[in-house]
Amino acid sequence: MDQNMQKYLDKAEVLIEALPYIQRFNRKIIVVKYGGSAMVDENLKEQVIKDVTLLKLVGFKPIIVHGGGKEISRWVSKVGMEPNFVNGLRVTDAETMELAEMVLGKVNKELVQLVESLGVRAIGISGKDGKLLTVDKKYADGEDIGFVGEIKKVNIQILYDLLEKDFLPIICPVGLDDDYNTYNINADDAACAIARAMRAEKLAFLTDIEGVYKDPKDPATLISELTVSDARKLMDEGYIGGGMLPKLHNCIDAIEHGVSRVHILDGRIPHCLLLEIFTNKGIGTAILNDGAQQFYYGE
């Protein structure tokens, strides 16, 4: 057999290997929380968006929930203010809220543009549109942190309508309270609430780190499968800090409320989403119900 023929056969083999995964997730909802470095680096950005459009085109129903925390901080600094966080949540006064909404809106439309350029119909909405996300004011351990919202209701109908019309929804984490005031929502919270409400098959958090470490200073301590009770134990014992804390809380919340598979993935790895979904490589950290075992299809 000539070399070229072997190359084509290898390609065919890769597609055939993906078959059980394509069947498994056909028409299933997959929520992708897109944030961190994969948003800042243009190459990574294109790869993530290509991955999600591929998921759409092979028959899955992906929903993107995006962040933009780094970009918001850049603009907050630009206007001479100091970005300020409590427990991973941005302290959001009225001026910061205005900036955050402007920046998140811009990020949202850039993502829509990218998806559309790849031949997939996308609709970018914020939690304000169609009252997608209704919030109450959120406090950080009793501390007032301004216009930060805790989601109390997700209008799932609007998302079902978009999915039914074959659009890829791209959601920006801004919402309204009952008095129609604007609130800033942590994007991990938004992704979790949407995955829960839509009973998603999978929720994947793309972030800036390999996954959850027992010791963040020692890469050898990466945990590839973490049960809910072990996750709670790690948090109680102080192994988890910074932005990983709300992320892990959201992972537990999603798993305990019907999302079958929850993953923290390294958005710095090109095509990490495809690797996680279509191979049995098991990258990043999978959060599992107690007693559950990760079930990979294929080999």
Ligand X SMILES: CC(=O)N[C@@H](CCC(=O)OP(=O)(O)O)C(=O)O
Ligand Y SMILES: Nc1ncnc2c1ncn2[C@@H]1O[C@H](COP(=O)(O)OP(=O)(O)O)[C@@H](O)[C@H]1O
CB of 104 to ligand X, least distance (A): 7
Say whether 139 sits in a helix, a strand or coil.
strand
68 binding ligand X? (CB under 6 A): yes
User: What are the residues facing 85 on neighbouring strands?
Assistant: 90
CB of 17 to ligand X, least distance (A): 32
Site string for ligand Y, 214-233 (x = CB under 6 A): --x-----------------
Asked if residue 213 lies in contact with residue 170, where contact means CB atoms within 8 angstroms, the answer is no
What is the pairing mode between strands 225-227 and 143-154? unpaired
Site string for ligand X, 102-141 (x = CB under 6 A): ----------------------------------------
Q: Among 182, 133, 180, which residue's Cα sits nearest to residue 159? A: 133
Which one of 3-11, 181-189, 224-232, 288-296 is the stretch in contact with ligand X (CB under 6 A)?
181-189
Q: Which is nearer to ligand X, 123 or 192 (CB)?
A: 192
Which one of 62-70, 150-158, 195-203, 232-240 is the stretch in contact with ligand X (CB under 6 A)?
62-70
Q: Helices in the chain by DSSP H: which ranges?
A: 3-25, 37-40, 42-57, 69-78, 94-117, 156-164, 187-197, 228-236, 244-256, 272-278
Contacts with 68 (C-beta within 8 Å, 6 or more apart), sequence order? 35, 39, 103, 104, 107, 172, 187
What is the pairing mode between strands 133-140 and 122-126? unpaired
CB of 189 to ligand X, least distance (A): 8
Q: Which is nearer to ligand X, 69 or 127 (CB)?
A: 69
CB of 166 to ligand Y, least distance (A): 29
Q: Among 9, 55, 61, which residue's Cα sits nearest to residue 272? A: 55
How wide is the angle at C-alpha 37 spanned by C-alphas 247 and 60, nearest 5°? Answer: 70
Residue 27, annotated ligand binder?
A: no
247 binding ligand X? (CB under 6 A): no
85 binding ligand Y? (CB under 6 A): no
**Residues engaged in binding ligand Y (CB under 6 A):** 35-36, 67, 69, 88, 188, 207-209, 212-213, 216, 239-244, 247
**Residues engaged in binding ligand X (CB under 6 A):** 35, 67-69, 72, 89-90, 100, 148, 173, 184-187
